[in-house]
Amino acid sequence: MSPSTRRILITCLALLLAACVCLSALVLSGAGLAVWSSLHPTSPTQPTPTQTPAFLQIPSATPKPPGAPAPGETLTLAPTPTDLPVSADVAHQMDVIQTQVEAIRGLKLRQPVARALLSPQELRARVLSDLIKDYTPEDARTDETTLAAFGLLPPDFDLITFYQKLYTEQVAGFYDDKTKEMYVVEGEGFNGPERMTYAHEFTHALQDQTFDLRNGLNYSQEACKHQTERCAAIQALVEGDATLVEQEWLLTDSTPLDKQQIQQFYQNYSSPVYDAAPLFMQKDFLFPYTQGLEFVQSLFDQGGWNAVNAAFKNPPVSTEQILHPGLYPDDRPVTVSLPDLSTALGSAWHKVDDGVLGEWYTYLTLADGELARARLPDSVARPAAAGWGGDAYAVYRDDSSGGVVLVLSTQWDTQKDAAEFADAFAQYGRGRWGQQTDTNADHLRWNTAGAYVAFDRQGQSTYWVQGPGLEPVQAILNTLSLP
């Protein structure tokens, strides 16, 4: 699937709206892509966590080095000739928020950044011309093929059209890591929702100028092309940090009017595109913010902002570490490799995708697939995915017939973890393909009208192979020395 290339510095409405205004406090789970989704204000708890092996992230422009002055230098962002047009009053409010965020985060802006308000119409134009312009039909076809093979999307799902609609509905603001500009989507003015979004986006500017996201964290479109787990983890760190800052700003520096306006916006907001999205995508869209926040909060609880700063210098490397903060930084994924299967499959087949699924997408596959009957409850799916140690997948396609072959090799931490996943996969498989033809728990087979599926467990390793019939699947099993 395509790499972790969705622009990492957008603020999304989904988490901006995970708020509950009470008499004593307003508890919010923030947004860093500033995404506003339709979470209902029934309790002040975090929304259900959701990542991607980063392969579902929309391509973004590559960030460039900030070229910052000496550490510790403070530059107040009063309106300058480099600013994009904002009124004097809005510019002053932005300056105040920047000072507040600098005090919360303990970082100083090293050089000015331009900032602007965008109308919803201007935002749509930017989304279509910039944020997803590099996401080609071939990229979309690859993602559609892979996600359908994993059972996460129906085969005829139109990703490009969906992303165009979703991002124009959900983006509330963004920091452009290439041009070093900050944008906030203007509703009825620069009010509570926009001010909170700006606090989040300004945190991204501080991150970029302090830690250099491209070179310091090796986070760019090119670097992430084949390092999706690492980049998904970095995205969670970046967004979790900004979300924690946004929460603190909301609780300590926002005004009563801000809170009132946010609550009013929340009560009136609807998100039909997000609400109609595939279930795994809804949860995945929130992962950097919800799970990223929990990860960063865990660091903060241990050592304050110094511990968070240290994580930017030694970033997490997997979604496993994000999901289980206690595993950071020492528990690193093992490297799993697959042989080239082109020869075994024959000349009609070609590889269209490969990469690492990761613990997060292993969980999503079990819990949130397209077929409701195949979805496992969290009480089964989460522990089944939790023993993940490393994996590799590959997807091949026969363009003449439209056939697709999927191969996933996973290494688990222990044999017990592998057996637990095998048990969960058997349950998942029965929901997706019906009763298996082989009842051996370590040697499962399904033979349906549309697919032949093989699942094998050997010690701490499991193998999932599926194709349009027995012949290509058996060829792969032979190559992998599986029965």
Q: Is residue 273 domain-shared with residue 353, that is, in the same domain?
A: no
Strand partners, 183: 116, 174
Q: Is residue 424 part of a domain?
A: yes
Question: What are the DSSP calls for 209-258, one per residue?
Answer: HHH-TTTTS--SHHHHTT-HHHHHHHHHHHHHHHHHHHHHHHHHT--HHH
pLDDT for 270 equals: 86
Q: Is residue 150 domain-shared with residue 86, that is, in the same domain?
A: yes
pLDDT for 178 equals: 74
Q: Is residue 272 domain-shared with residue 392, that is, in the same domain?
A: no
Question: CA separation (Å) from 447 to 93, 437, 443, 451, 474?
Answer: 63, 7, 13, 6, 12
Distance, CA of 248 to CA of 8 (rounded, Å):
21
Q: Is residue 471 domain-shared with residue 441, that is, in the same domain?
A: yes
- What SS3 state is found at 323? helix
Q: Is residue 307 domain-shared with residue 396, that is, in the same domain?
A: no
What parts of the chain have a pLDDT lower than 50?
A: 1-8, 14-83
Q: Is residue 50 part of a domain?
A: yes
Q: Is residue 315 domain-shared with residue 359, that is, in the same domain?
A: no
Q: Is residue 305 domain-shared with residue 371, that is, in the same domain?
A: no
The CATH number given to whatever domain includes residue 413 is 3.40.1000.70
Domain that holds residue 20: 10-320
Q: Quick one: which of 81, 76, 63, 83 has its CA closest to 110?
A: 76
Strand partners, 465: 407, 454
Phi, psi torsion values for 7, nearest 5 degrees: -55, 120
Name residue 93's amino acid: Q
pLDDT for 11 equals: 56
pLDDT for 13 equals: 56
Tokens, residue 453: 């599926």
Question: CA separation (Å) from 207 to 45, 75, 105?
Answer: 27, 15, 10
**Helix (H) or strand (E) segment spanning residue 354:** strand 349-355
Q: Is residue 292 domain-shared with residue 370, that is, in the same domain?
A: no
- What SS3 state is found at 406? strand
Q: Quick one: which of 203, 31, 208, 195 has its CA closest to 102?
A: 203
Q: Is residue 336 part of a domain?
A: no
Q: Is residue 221 domain-shared with residue 263, that is, in the same domain?
A: yes
pLDDT for 55 equals: 28
Question: CA separation (Å) from 147 to 139, 394, 473?
Answer: 12, 12, 19
Q: Is residue 309 part of a domain?
A: yes
pLDDT for 450 equals: 87
Distance, CA of 457 to CA of 409 (rounded, Å):
10
**Helix (H) or strand (E) segment spanning residue 309:** helix 279-313
Q: Is residue 2 part of a domain?
A: no
Q: Is residue 294 domain-shared with residue 149, that is, in the same domain?
A: yes
Choose the final residue of a domain: 258, 289, 320.
320
pLDDT for 182 equals: 85
Q: Is the pTM of this model over 0.75?
A: yes
Question: What are the DSSP calls for 86-99, one per residue?
Answer: --HHHHHHHHHHHH
CA angle (150, 401, 469) in 5-degree steps: 60
Q: Are strands 181-185 and 114-118 parallel, antiparallel or unpaired?
A: parallel
Q: Is residue 373 part of a domain?
A: yes
Residues with Cβ < 8 Å from 382, sequence gap 6 or more?
363, 367
Q: Is residue 375 domain-shared with residue 237, that is, in the same domain?
A: no
Q: Is residue 206 part of a domain?
A: yes
Question: CA separation (Å) from 429 to 190, 220, 286, 317?
Answer: 51, 37, 27, 30
Choose the final residue of a domain: 285, 320, 355.
320
pLDDT for 12 equals: 55
Number of domains in the chain: 2
Q: Is residue 351 domain-shared with residue 312, that is, in the same domain?
A: no
Q: Is residue 454 part of a domain?
A: yes
